[in-house]
Structure 1
């Protein structure tokens, strides 16, 4: 006996429709009244929003899932994810996310305290409740039109602003009450931002590594990882007069961890390697806890398994400058020799100088800049960001 597809139970038909793409659903909707009704099913479009763009039901509450999908997600949903904004030497951390019927570009920046969470500001929004969707720059402060384009092959988003002068004037007004080095930093950043936003502000995909990106050679026999190494990810770090910057630590291989700058400064620019941690070169406290003693210490490679590196006490070496008020742990799980990158303004004459990297725990690192006689503290960014939809795009770092 031959069964016509329209004779199947509606719950079975809906299960079949969940396997279709939107183009197929549009074609099926004009076949007959049954398929028209089924292709309007709210739970079907709710499923498609999650399947295609990882948009959860809670993020578009009280909205029509079909309208959200067709009006905003089908065009802009592939932009969802984390990005590094290309703002001269400074860079920026941008999350494009979906919530409450809007796609938003949220800028995440450090505060004046390395231990505090990143602060958030909305740089642009796309209103999915309007037809057609409307794109706005600085929507909560000085809303004005903008447009967004995406190169799907490279995963790059370009933002075009329709009111460059008003955009920059608004940002200047926001930061008009700051003084000193911070004001100079913001002023220079605005100059670069004005230059790039006039021709299009570029955001490149930033794909975060996780525990699965730790080289398997570093695993113990039971599959776990020793506490003497860190899980890769985003950290905030102190950089003296440059303030606090955001770095991405990731494994080069089982021998080295590199800290790449997501945000940079006029000396060492965004995207450059700031710190190299040499896992085969453990360091230990000197008899005299001083910078002078560190300068005479010759790094030596070791075949000792990382999980056999003993815990030992830590205190700031004498002669080392540490300006932050954050109290430091008195013990660390490991130390490693490494290198830190320095340069003159404009990234002129860059070079790598010896450092010691202190692993306090998986979320807190210290770096002793031996030649600079300075100490930097790095704290993990404790936040889950929107994952990049275009997994085939290459990360900028």
Structure 2
């Protein structure tokens, strides 16, 4: 009634000329003024704080609610926080206002527009493959190609080469630039071909030209990208030289396709942390592999390849149910002794497989249940406990390490391999002729040195490959599910076959 007296000009004694429903509505409005209950009645600074906490993809919907929301969403503070929170942009975004580019434009026209290409990719370069990491780098989106260190320095860091970059030019749309060639950045294009696949195209290939012509360009590509020379190639198949020349032309002068790959998922019982490693491959130099775990099997899949075994193929498969005890150092130096131990396990596996197949064919109901597979962690502990505990000079090794030395007949491009290891397992390596002809899996020895290094002895080739972990941090690279990662591995094998 006090409200009615104020609005109608009469007191309670004189009665009220307003109807009850109207009075109730006015009373509700007064209560709303005294204690705001809706977002519309909150102060603008509070709304800015609330909207800054919402994902940027939901903010356009808020702008459709009312004019007040639309005005508040024009505040750059909101979009500055979204740029930092969602994409890790830690640059001083206030400086951009001087150039006329707002944080909202950075988010909408650059970061959000190209969000689908962030992460890890493999280029379609025939058998050679590769590893591309697309990241937000300051106020740019840059595609970095990862190149292995020069052979045989496997423990050195990766070499990074920018392939393309995307940025905003004032208030225009995002600009794509090709970064290849000696003349600096120039116009390029990026197209999302389909889900988990995109293409790049250079629009000014004259920027790739060198004064010495194609021959100088090709030599530079071999030296900088592959760490090889023409003399190295001439000592191998001429077909490889022709193939590499074709790939070079396709890589930089035509549209190049990239397919998404994921960082392998990790589980608590994995032997070591899965990830990307760089390793030696005989005359082919250093290549990148991806170590992943699948139950009691470990796989090393080629990310970069060569004309014999292309990228995408499982170069190593390790049976984690078959740990091997290393003999003494003197016996280990004898290749025949090591070969005998590995082949004995191969023959045992073959007999078990034949026996299992024979029982199945007979349809016997008395078939024995397979034994429970041991944990790989338990295998490490057991093997370490039973392994030799003395090094070559008689010094005691830590309890969890075994002394290790390469057999004298085994070739190693890098003699600086570790002289102790945690555990060894039986495994197989994939070898093939030129052009991936007649591929076959051959037995070998997988050696886990530590958390960041492992090796493999190829019995048939009498060679040793040493692998060292890539310690780069890859963002936007985790698979949505373990099934998605397994599907990606199957697809990788089809890309190059």
In the other structure, the counterpart of 1:127 is 167
Q: CA deviation at 1:57?
A: 2.5
Q: CA deviation at 1:198?
A: 6.0
Structure 1 Cα separation of the partners of residues 280 and 78 of structure 2: 48
1:205 aligns with 2:260: yes
Q: 1:56 to 1:144 in 2, by over 3 A?
A: closer
In the other structure, the counterpart of 1:161 is 202
In the other structure, the counterpart of 1:87 is 125
Q: 1:330 to 1:48 in 2, by over 3 A?
A: same
Q: 1:62 to 1:353 in 2, by over 3 A?
A: farther
1:25 aligns with 2:67: no
- For 1:50-199, what aligned pairs fall within 5 Å after superposition? 50-51=84-85, 53-58=86-91, 62-63=95-96, 64-112=102-150, 113-130=153-170, 131-138=172-179, 141-142=182-183, 143-151=185-193, 154-164=195-205, 167=208, 171-172=217-218, 174-175=220-221, 178-181=229-232, 188-195=243-250
Structure 2 Cα separation of the partners of residues 104 and 283 of structure 1: 45
1:193-241 CA-to-partner distances (Å, cap 9, x unmatched) read 433666631111121124xx23x5x3xxxxxx6xxx2211000000011
3-state SS of paired residue (1:181):
helix
Q: 1:235 to 1:182 in 2, by over 3 A?
A: farther
Structure 1 Cα separation of the partners of residues 72 and 245 of structure 2: 51
3-state SS of paired residue (1:315):
coil
Which residue of 314, 335, 339 corresponds with 1:291? 335
1:249 aligns with 2:291: yes
Q: CA deviation at 1:172?
A: 2.8
Structure 1 Cα separation of the partners of residues 82 and 285 of structure 2: 43
User: Greater relative contact order (Cα 8 A, min sep 6): structure 1 or 2?
Assistant: 1
In the other structure, the counterpart of 2:427 is 338
1:7-50 CA-to-partner distances (Å, cap 9, x unmatched) read 20224312442436557437728944x54552133331123224
- Where structure 1 has 5 or more consecutive residues not aligned to the other structure, the ranges are 219-224
- For 1:203-282, what aligned pairs fall within 5 Å after superposition? 203-210=258-265, 213-214=266-267, 218=269, 229-253=271-295, 255-282=296-323
1:263-318 CA-to-partner distances (Å, cap 9, x unmatched) read 00000000000011111111122452222222222116885832222132100112
3-state SS of paired residue (2:112):
helix
1:382 aligns with 2:471: yes
Q: CA deviation at 1:82?
A: 1.1
Q: 1:145 to 1:187 in 2, by over 3 A?
A: farther
Q: 1:173 to 1:239 in 2, by over 3 A?
A: closer
TM-score (norm 2): 0.69
Q: CA deviation at 1:75?
A: 1.5
Q: 1:173 to 1:40 in 2, by over 3 A?
A: farther
For these two proteins, the number of residue pairs brought into alignment is: 379
Q: CA deviation at 1:129?
A: 3.8
Q: Is the 8 A contact 2:264 2:479 kept in 1?
A: no
Q: CA deviation at 1:79?
A: 1.0
1:150-202 CA-to-partner distances (Å, cap 9, x unmatched) read 256x3212112224565475853634764422688787445224336666311
Q: Is the 8 A contact 1:155 1:394 kept in 2?
A: no
Q: Which has the higher strand share?
A: 1
Q: 1:191 to 1:375 in 2, by over 3 A?
A: same
In the other structure, the counterpart of 2:226 is none
Q: Which has the higher helix share?
A: 2
Q: 1:268 to 1:193 in 2, by over 3 A?
A: same
1:308 aligns with 2:382: yes
More divergent stretch after superposition (77-86 vs 265-274): 77-86
More divergent stretch after superposition (342-351 vs 122-131): 122-131
Q: Is the 8 A contact 1:90 1:265 kept in 2?
A: yes
1:41 aligns with 2:75: yes
The CA RMSD over aligned residues, in Å, is 3.1
TM-score (norm 1): 0.85
3-state SS of paired residue (2:114):
helix
3-state SS of paired residue (2:411):
coil
Question: Looking at CA atoms only, which structure, 1 or 2, has the larger radius of gyration?
Answer: 2
